[in-house]
Chain A
Amino acid sequence: METVPHPETQSAKTPERLAYSVQEAADLLGVNYFSVYRLVQRGKLKVCRALRGKLLVPRDELLKLLKSE
């Protein structure tokens, strides 16, 4: 089941999000923060880092995780 907002449900003027913060990822997956960091620690959820080092979860990785579930 895909819970990441589908592009068609977003405003036509809003470009599709490429990545989400951990907070957003937790909300989209329906889990708490610690579960997301647990997924990151075990490499089940691959993340990248923004300029100041903040973790970003690529949309594709979220979709991949949801599909593998």
Chain B
Amino acid sequence: MAEPILQLANVNKSFGPIDVLHDINLSVKAGEVLCLLGDNGAGKSTLIKILSGVHQPTSGTILMDGKPIAFANPREASERGISTVHQFGGTFPLMSIGRSFFVGVEPTRKWGPFSFYDRRKANEVAVKAVQEFGITRIEDGDRLVGGLSGGERQSLAIARAVHFGARVLILDEPTAALGVKEAAHVLRIVLEARKRGLAVIFITHQVIHALTVGDHFAVLIRGALAADFRRGEKTREEITDLMAGGEAMAELEAEIEAYQAAHEGRAPGAAELR
């Protein structure tokens, strides 16, 4: 089995007195989609922020290619090939597709002592990159990002990350605000990214979307990893129950509380719950 690209080992995060993440152990390999499921407030965003370098873990280690690593800021993480795409994808709605695609790494051409932003090249590369992901409707790189549909923006952002050499793609609720068709489009792009050998971390609370593309699933509840399983090991109902109430949820809560009572308030790891 190949070595995981990115791995979290016993990662804890607390903000002052509030513990947000407890003993998280996760790993993701190249060409694999890890779905991170959890209700609102479960600690998903904090986990993403640790992975993308916004926050540093309070304790525990992040391993990349098996070596411990620390990201001082998002820039460092992205230089290592960890790329985060947020819910609304294109964040510069009033910029053209070509310009926003190359923000910070603009192609230029020289003319005497002056260097000029190479609009034609930027547009061409951006349009080509997006079309390779199956969005053939985008053919004009001068169009403003704000004029694209939600799915197209997501696709643009993912295409951008892949183009600039991302190895780990973190997708933060990419399908949350989308219609059914648009979501299907984005899911297809997730699969395309997986096919290209990227490790994809797909954050969602829509179980159907997760089951469609995921190889490996992790459920977060109250900052602890409540379940960690492979594709086919649990049904949709079981996962939904796990995430958002139902008998399984009540049972689990009781279990966690019992555990916390016995362990001075510390939450259990996934292994201890099974």
- Verify that A and B bind, or say they do not: no
A residues lining the B interface (CB < 8 Å): none
Hey, which bits of chain B sit against chain A, CB under 8 A?
A: none
